[in-house]
A and B are shown apart, each in its own frame.
Chain A
């Protein structure tokens, strides 16, 4: 058991799922070089729900792309279960903000979900079972034969979540997934995210610019500072589980936490 110096709040016995060590990303070179990520270091434990917040343009999306193996870091590394991420790992699934663009409009809901499984070589029977389970988890069992564009925005994002769940990842990475839906739908989807985390035992890395959302959902909030992006602070959120849109948000501890995150972000 090693001593954790940087994050005394993390339970010592927890299993590390993701480790990000001194992650740097620089675009361009020479005098045009622009450093977007500047030595980010944090961990995500197995089964944990970690929200990443930061000022807009801080490089959150770049961080996620490095985490998910879509973009190689300039230096430092991201590891999943101790192995450096060099390409999209099979144990990780992504949900993007732009549901209209991340779902294939020429495929039905069901086929959108099964296509990655087919490519992965999952048997037809198991594909069917996983799809059914995932669609039930997001309450869309009746929409499997519809096309994504026949569904509302919130439903489309639920399809994207179901697709990620059916992939059975250990880590679910979500990039501002609820930023493009209306407020009411957003609350529903936040609670859905909590339910599937509990039901599937999945580790969640959730990027958002919404402070309330971050505090409401997270076990820990990683606050980023901007230009270049560094980890400002990692704040543990010890609110009672399961969270509740009314009760949790009325909790003085919630208000205090969101003020703290807000102050940190305002300072940049």
Chain B
């Protein structure tokens, strides 16, 4: 028996954590739902709080309609397109600003000023230009996502190893070859972190652009159900957003692991 205990103690810490983490997390979720159900049936029975059972019923109803899926698709398209454009713009600009000292110095202040402005603040301007359209949502997501990616890319490029750069130069790599083959992969860990930060914001910004700005999508559905007083549908949509957000982050995490399989932070392997 003693041996079993020892072995158990020696089991990888990470695995045990994840195992019990999921169990504890799920228990907490069930507890919250239970508390909600009790509150909605008891003290808050007169307030606009549907019970969990009602919400689940609405959710199942929603999942059966084509309209729901097309608005969810619309929102995801907006989020992913905005994120993709932000990655493209952020990485290209970041490499430029990171490698040209003058460009870096002259833009640093501008970036620091623009970065904290939330996308919702520029929404009126974008609506004026593009109307309450999906394009408007894409622009807002792009605006909200580009900063962390740009800043991380600049940091990663500036962090490039001078030995590796000299190695590449000694083998006759041109400027473009060094940027693409050496500097960019070397900055990958920084960039991917930026993408992860931006990615978790992308879906939220897409929903906000629909909820407040009126672009088509699941956020707009939320607005409609709220105004119509369809509270169980509204909370069903909120639950969907929570689930999609979780899925988004899980996907980003997987993307990070895949991109950085060689990086010390991911490979978790000790060299001989």
Contact = CB atoms under 8 A, between A and B. Distances in A.
| A joins B in a complex | yes
B169 A70 contact: yes
A149 B172 contact: no
B263 A119 contact: no
A104 B170 contact: no
Contacts of A147: 262
A151 B164 CA distance: 18
A104 B271 contact: no
A134 to B, nearest CB: 14
Given A105-B262, A150-B269, A152-B271, A88 B170 contact: yes
Nearest to A173: B170
A120 B264 CA distance: 30
Interface in B141-164: 161, 163-164
Interface in A139-198: 147, 149-153, 167
A144 to B, nearest CB: 16
A267 interface: no
B267 A90 contact: no
Contact of B177 (A65, A94, A119, A167): A119
A88 B181 contact: no
Nearest to B270: A149
A152 B272 contact: yes
A115 interface: yes
Interface string B256-272: 00000011100101011
A41 to B, nearest CB: 23
B263 A105 contact: yes
Contact of A70 (B161, B170, B181): B170
A88 B181 CA distance: 18
Nearest to A102: B167
Given A88-B171, A101-B164, A151 B182 contact: no
A167 B171 contact: yes
Interface residues of B, number: 23
Interface string A75-106: 00000000000001010111010100110111
B262 A119 contact: no
Nearest to A147: B262
Contact of A98 (B163, B174, B181, B272): B163
Given A104-B185, A119-B171, A119-B177, A149 B262 contact: yes
A226 interface: no
A89 to B, nearest CB: 8
A90 B169 CA distance: 11
A68 interface: yes
Contacts of A150: 269, 271
B140 to A, nearest CB: 34
Given A104-B185, A105-B262, A151-B271, A116 B171 contact: yes
A151 B171 contact: no
Identify the interface centre among B163, B169, B174: most chain A CB within 10 Å of its CB. Answer: B163
A136 to B, nearest CB: 21
Contacts of B172: 88, 90, 116, 119-120
B262 to A, nearest CB: 5
B163 A96 contact: yes
A88 B169 contact: yes
Interface of B: 161, 163-164, 166-167, 169-174, 177, 181-182, 185, 188, 262-264, 267, 269, 271-272
Given A88-B170, A150-B269, 4 more contacts: A65-B166, A92-B170, A102-B164, A106-B263
Q: Which 5 residue pairs are nearest across A and B when measured between Cβ atoms?
A: A116-B171, A101-B163, A94-B170, A152-B272, A102-B167
7 contacts: A69-B170, A104-B164, A105-B263, A106-B185, A115-B181, A147-B262, A151-B271
